[in-house]
Chains A and B, each alone.
Chain A
Amino acid sequence: MTPSIDRGAVASLHAHVLAELASPGDWWDARSRQAAIEEARAARSCGLCRARLAAVSPEAVAERHRSHDGLSEAAVEVIHRVVNDPGRLTRRWADSQVDALGDAVYAELVAVTAIIVAIDMYARSIGASPPMLGEPVDGPPARERPAGLGDVGAWIPMTEQKALANVSRALSLVPRTNTTWRTLVNDSYSRGPQMVALTWERALSRPQVELIAARVSQLNECFY
């Protein structure tokens, strides 16, 4: 049986990913990224998000998220909606946030939020505390828009080169952060060439892993 990743290896993986998030990103510096992470963690106890979740539509609640900690109102809105209510996001909502933030900053915020949700959900599942954030590293963001982007039918531009699933290119607009994100997903789930094998020799079989994946997707009301 192929050795499965153990707790120590997961701790090393998450430490590496968090160190990357504590470094300058694509369009945000390290301190801004850390503010976004802290906001994502705080979002879980947001009363406004709870009220929206209980409403027939998030738009049915008139109150808005407020700017704070250097994060704009739109940035806070993106973080909170992605953490708490991702299954009811709409193109109109995304267009409004992209208008306010720019498409690349929007993509970076989505990526950073998804990464911290993934790491913290692992911690919750295994019965550990969420890992601590590192000290932010000074330096400018890359501010590079990659070549080869286009409209592939999604809400933001993505690479027109399709290697595998659409989700694997979803964050190609922000290559530095996307590398961090894809490292996390690869080591947690797909593991390189194993992704295209229908049988796995792990501690859980592929159907067992895919059942968990399908259940988590169902609970998050994710059509994709």
Chain B
Amino acid sequence: MALLRASSSALGDDLDVAAALTRGEGVAGGALLREFASAAYFDAPDLAARRADVEAAFGEAGLVEACLTVGAFSGLTRVADATGIVLDGGTLAATVDLRAELALNDMSGALNTGAVVHDVGAPIIPSAVADLFVD
């Protein structure tokens, strides 16, 4: 989420992350990609159709990248949740608004990071990816 906003910002886009997450808005082909990820997660009956949509829009290479991302984050989320890692300080600061707006602080995994997830204020959007991971 922090990288979605930061990478959109690097392209000059002021992304509405909630709209992107809920409808795919603000990212080129975002609705197709979001629907494809959802269909893959649920192993939905329309997965083949969503896959064909992604391949038609982004080509074979784009489809492979999309599938690799679905796979990698299906694993990464499990490693994060099963090891109880704390959210990195830079990411915490960069998502203070989004976590409140999207009620992410109510997730079970938020307990690992502790009471600081409920801090309020303006987000600090980093100019470099590495800044997201500084504590």
Residues of B within 8 A of A142 (CB): none
Q: Is the CB of A124 within 8 A of B11?
A: no
Q: Is the CB of A217 within 8 A of B78?
A: no
A132 within 8 A of B: no
Residues of A within 8 A of B41 (CB): 216, 219-220
Interface-centre pick from B63, B70, B72 (highest chain A CB count, 10 A): B72
With A188-B71, A220-B74, A223-B109 known as contacts, the answer to whether A215 contacts B128 (CB < 8 A) is: no
Residues of B within 8 A of A209 (CB): 65-66, 69
Q: Is the CB of A127 within 8 A of B51?
A: yes
Number of residues from A at the complex interface, CB < 8 A: 79
Bound complex: CA A113 to CA B77 (Å): 12
Interface-centre pick from B60, B70, B107, B113 (highest chain A CB count, 10 A): B70
Q: Mark A1-35, 1 if CB is under 8 A from B, else 0.
A: 00111110010000000000000000000000000
Give the A-B contact count at a CB cut-off of 8 A.
282
Bound complex: CA A119 to CA B74 (Å): 9
Residues of A within 8 A of B8 (CB): 207
Bound complex: CA A49 to CA B27 (Å): 36
Query: Smallest distance from the beta carbon of A54 to chain B beta carbons, Å?
Result: 16
Query: Smallest distance from the beta carbon of B28 to chain A beta carbons, Å?
Result: 7
A192 within 8 A of B: no
Q: Mark B1-20, 1 if CB is under 8 A from A, else 0.
A: 10110111111010101001
Query: Smallest distance from the beta carbon of B119 to chain A beta carbons, Å?
Result: 15
Residues of A within 8 A of B47 (CB): 124-125, 127
Residues of B within 8 A of A10 (CB): 64, 68
A115's closest neighbor in chain B, by CB? Answer: B75
For chain B residues 1-55, which have a beta carbon within 8 Å of chain A? 1, 3-4, 6-11, 13, 15, 17, 20-21, 24, 27-30, 33-34, 36-38, 40-43, 47-48, 51
A89 within 8 A of B: yes
B73's closest neighbor in chain A, by CB? Answer: A216
Q: Is the CB of B10 within 8 A of A216?
A: no
Residues of B within 8 A of A166 (CB): 85-88, 133
11 A-B interface contacts by CB (under 8 A) = A5-B65, A82-B82, A87-B81, A87-B107, A120-B71, A155-B84, A196-B129, A208-B29, A216-B41, A216-B70, A222-B81
Residue numbers of B with Cβ under 8 A of A are 1, 3-4, 6-11, 13, 15, 17, 20-21, 24, 27-30, 33-34, 36-38, 40-43, 47-48, 51, 58-88, 91, 104-105, 107-113, 128-130, 132-133, 135
**8 interchain residue pairs of minimum CB distance:** A223-B109, A118-B75, A155-B84, A122-B71, A203-B61, A198-B10, A224-B80, A222-B77
